Amino acid sequence: MTDQVQTIDYGYAATSAEQRNKVLRNTYWLLAMSLVPTVLGAWVGVATGITRGLSGGIGLMVFLAIAFGFMFAIEKTKNSAAGVPVLLAFTFFMGLMLSRLIAMVLGFKNGPSLVMTAFGGTAGVFFVMATLSSVIKRDLSGMGKFLFVGALAILIGGIINVFIGSTVGMLVISVMAIGVFSAFMLYDLKRIIDGGETNYISATLALYLDIFNVFQSLLALLGLTSGSSD
């Protein structure tokens, strides 16, 4: 009985260590798998320019409508066989949407190195947060409210900046997003480790969005500050 349900001090319904480890393993596995359609979507977008017309307010509305539609569908199917395919379709879509930024950065003379730097930086942030989540013993559940407010502020600021087109605004939003979503990685990983998230599809979606936002913001920041023209 005691090996099935254990009492922990983090305010979550306690689950066995074996179950928590299983959720974490499945999350890492699905997260790695989700990067494949993301890369494929980005490649298709760059190669075809299919998302080139999705700029400005209309493009933002289309992106938000489809993205939130996918996230709603993922939550609805997370306990069924359709959950994984829907999640992977979402990551392909996100790769497609990322292709406009990637194509812009690749237009710089040092574009490929900037993309690799952003990728390496994002991987480094994830490694640090994964390590911290495994050694920090304190309850981090209280971070959720503050991080949500931060993410909402970034979303609103990003929407406003689409219409203003401020480079300084983009820099500020990118720096904020890197900080907030790096902290979200730690928060989401700790929830899995502590048993607060027991569905690996939901856990993967949360971590994927954290990684996506850190990479996108880091790439935008590098492009704005380090991009060199031919």
Considering Cα of 222, then 228, then 229, then 230, what sign does the dihedral take? negative
pLDDT tens string 85-138: 999 999 999 999 999 999 999 988 888 999 999 999 999 999 999 999 889 888
Domain boundaries, given as residue ranges, for the chain: 17-226
| pTM, two decimal places | 0.88
Instruction: List the chain residues with pLDDT less than 50.
Output: 1-14
